[in-house]
Amino acid sequence: MTPATALPVAISCGEPAGIGPEIAAKAWAALRGEVPLFWIGDPAHLPADVPVVVIDSPSQAAGVMDRGLPVLSHDFAAPNTPGTANPANAQGVIDVIARGVDLVQSGQAAALCTAPIHKKALQDGAGFAYPGHTEYLQALAGAERAVMMLASEQLRVVPATIHIALREVPKMLTPTLLRDTIRITADGLRSQFGIAQPRIAVAGLNPHAGEGGAMGREEIDWIAKLVTDMSAEGYDLRGPLPADTMFHATARASYDAAVCMYHDQALIPIKTLDFDRGVNVTLGLPFIRTSPDHGTAFDIAGTGVANPSSMIEALRMAHRMAQS
């Protein structure tokens, strides 16, 4: 049982027309007595069969968890139709994220767990100027740079470049970018995961890590030197490693996180190993933020079949990170 005095995890509602309200309710049902939490959003957007307890302050959340989903009410402009985003609600989604950040930074919540948003709906309805959650959170926090980690019980991965075309990766992947990614990953493993001396595996960019230059020269020209230099500075690094041999069970046991060069190099192995329970963690922020590793799933919203596993794991991980 979690002590009633533990700070709760805040859940921002995300896109109300997606599966966010449903998986938040299912997560509450699964985590009663384990993780104190509260949901920020319009109670009318939750499934009708969910018991709700409206609270005035996050401090009340732990005490009412056994009665219903604690909800910090936030009025939205329009009703909700599952599966169809309403532009009138876009500003409400954005404001709830900012409210969640304020609560965490003011010490009223232990962490922020964000339900999926629909970027186009926010852009169309409220002129949202950010590519996604991470960049908006970075701006709210005034952080220099945020890094996306995907984490599960079996693997943690961090892509150095994210949502860009594969042909752009060699141009975007610079020594400064990779150094910052490794540094932020190491700092996050220490401060948020409680790993005093994190071990980080660094993937090569090219097949077989370039195979001595036969399949690309980035490893020879600068990646290996950067790994050597940072190792001399006290980082526990290994690499650059061939990506096709660094994700089997024996290899994974030798490191705490893998820094990869591009999106699919990082996300394919973790989604293959643990598709339903992967968690998105943002490193580099002055607070803890997790999120389920999936989207709004408009096609099944409102049907009651959404799988809450990733949301449950995101809340559990946020709670553990806060405690460590």
Residue bearing tokens 């990733």:
310
Decide: 6 and 33 in contact? Cβ < 8 Å. Answer: no
Alpha helices for 149-243 (secondary structure H): 169-172, 175-191, 218, 224-232
Q: Tell me if 225 is assigned to a ligand binding site.
A: no
Residues in the chain, total: 324
Q: Tell me if 26 is assigned to a ligand binding site.
A: no
Assigned token pair, 294: 């999936």
* Strand pairing report for 279-283 and 289-292: antiparallel
Q: 3-class DSSP state for residue 73? A: strand
Closest CA to 258 of 186, 165, 167, 168: 186
Q: Tell me if 118 is assigned to a ligand binding site.
A: no
Distances (CA, A) of 1 to 32, 35, 36, 233, 309: 9, 9, 10, 42, 20
Q: Tell me if 263 is assigned to a ligand binding site.
A: yes
Measured distance CA(46)–CA(23) in Å, rounded: 10
Q: Residue 57: count other Cβ atoms within 10 Å of its Cβ.
A: 10
Q: Tell me if 206 is assigned to a ligand binding site.
A: no
Q: Tell me if 163 is assigned to a ligand binding site.
A: yes
Decide: 288 and 111 in contact? Cβ < 8 Å. Answer: yes
Decide: 285 and 143 in contact? Cβ < 8 Å. Answer: yes
Residue bearing tokens 């220099």:
144
Q: Burial letters for 97-135: b for 16+ Cβ neighbours within 10 Å, e otherwise? A: bebbbebbeeebbbbbbbbbbbbebbeebbebebeebbe
- Quote the DSSP letter at residue 223: I
Q: Residue 5: count other Cβ atoms within 10 Å of its Cβ.
A: 8
Binding residues for substrate: 133-134, 271, 280, 289
| Residues contributing to the annotated binding site for a divalent metal cation | 163, 208, 263
Cite the annotated binding site by residue number: 133-134, 163, 208, 263, 271, 280, 289
